[in-house]
Chain A
């Protein structure tokens, strides 16, 4: 069966995810409220300008929103007994997952435009809008694939378990990715740890878009995000295919 056909069906899956999962409680809580309160906790009572906040703000916005929807979709489908119905249809597992990635990506990108607009309205000058735009698209996609990977194991049908486990990955990543302290300000050992996080590279791009300066080159930032996206997607497909029977039982 042609890839084009399967990709069309991925779009249908994404449409279904938008109808059903965008307004679910955990998506709102983990995708919007948590990062908002985290940002408030970082800024209230501190003398931080919007320009200094901007890279971290955009980093958190894209990261949390793009990883909010994905982890919960398959556990929810397993619990509500719609997953087996879906798997009986002529849609490959990778196409189902790609649909879920697309839904997460769309959510992340759409919501992240809000803090961008607000920041610009508050006086942030985005000198390299194209770089930021491409970075946001690539980062939202990369983090959406990460969100699907986070739901691969354990093959639980309890969405709360997955959201909890994914938070154990997401929150540490925020603290090591140059969100609160720029990478150049970190000690050597912390910089090494920071370099394994995909969020570091988007935060770097966001910083470049307003200051013209970045720790890594733009090409490295974009290439690493693309590489991580590919890796997360491939590993997700393998793991989900392997553990699907367990998830259905």
Chain B
């Protein structure tokens, strides 16, 4: 079984690069190859000029990683976890103490530094793992679904740190399920499906790539069958969305006139009408659907 098949891309220095894909697409496998955890069967990957397969340890010294499924040691304290990782990065004691204090404070864990990680919430554990990935102040961060399943506060804190690090010149390689997160955070996004690259571009450019995904949300003052509206306007699709009807159309201008004509013919009043361009989620669904 091929988990990742001939993918190729570049990430610029200081960029937040998003890697999107459904479950089993090959995101984590790609990250594991780029971080030296897995050896690829074919191909090369250069991380800051070093080939990961040949200079694995040298690359690992320069990167910070938050794996998709990983934990801190729950039997010891947050402080000891950070000291341990700092020592394994070869940081001198004075430096790792200073970095640990600063990171724990930044992530709101300083008061709990001596508590056993066993007693931490999921959000606190993930923040600690991010601290561990940042202890060596790496120029390149690999974050594999760092905010998956977290509370809003932890998620926002992590997103804030990602933006801050990127602003300071750190390159961030982020895999995520959260399309809105990718849309808000990433300079560029790659969409992977079934081990192959489906698209790679800036989020706004991706949204313009697929035609026919414009839609309008219309609300009438009476009950309306979406199928009747779709038939009247010869639209691709219409769907009931709460008290609104969503209509997909190639030509937005024509669709507006048609909706107005429909309302007149049915004796309805238009309560609200919004035109929307496709979201990144729409692009993602469209591209991954095409490949199946």
Contacts and interface: CB of A to CB of B under 8 A. Distances in A.
Contacts of B72: 82, 85
B71 A88 contact: no
B35 A88 contact: yes
A19 B57 contact: no
Range of interface residues on B (Cβ < 8 Å):
20 to 34
Interface of B: 32, 35-38, 57-58, 60-61, 65, 67, 69-76, 80, 84-85, 87-90, 129, 132
Interface string A55-99: 000000000000000000000000011101111111110000000
A52 to B, nearest CB: 42
A89 B89 contact: yes
Interface of A: 1, 5-6, 8-9, 12-13, 15-16, 19-20, 80-82, 84-92, 245, 248
A88 B73 contact: no
A40 B73 CA distance: 37
Contacts of A9: 87-88, 90
A9 B88 CA distance: 6
B88 A91 contact: yes
Contacts of B71: 80-82, 85
Contacts of A248: 32, 37
B70 A84 contact: yes
A87 B71 CA distance: 12
A19 B67 CA distance: 24
A84 B37 contact: yes
Q: Nearest 3 A-B pairs (CB), nearest first?
A: A90-B60, A88-B65, A81-B71
A80 B74 contact: yes
Contacts of A13: 88
Given A88-B60, A90-B60, A82 B73 contact: yes
Contacts of B36: 88
B59 to A, nearest CB: 8
A81 B57 contact: no
A90 B88 contact: yes
A90 B61 contact: yes
Given A80-B73, A90-B88, 19 more contacts: A1-B58, A9-B90, A12-B87, A13-B88, A19-B73, A20-B76, A80-B71, A81-B71, A84-B69, A84-B70, A85-B71, A85-B72, A85-B129, A85-B132, A88-B35, A88-B37, A88-B70, A90-B58, A92-B57
A89 B67 CA distance: 11
B160 to A, nearest CB: 23
A85 B142 CA distance: 12
Contacts of A1: 57-58, 61
Contacts of B69: 81, 84
15 contacts: A8-B90, A12-B88, A13-B88, A16-B73, A19-B75, A19-B76, A81-B69, A84-B37, A84-B67, A85-B132, A86-B88, A88-B70, A245-B37, A248-B32, A248-B37
Contacts of A5: 90
A126 B69 CA distance: 53
A25 to B, nearest CB: 13
A13 to B, nearest CB: 8
B73 A20 contact: yes
Pick from A8, A13, A85, A92 the residue with the most CB of B within 10 Å. Answer: A85
Given A82-B70, A85-B70, A88-B67, A19 B80 contact: yes
Nearest to B71: A81
Given A9-B90, A19-B76, A245-B38, A85 B61 contact: no
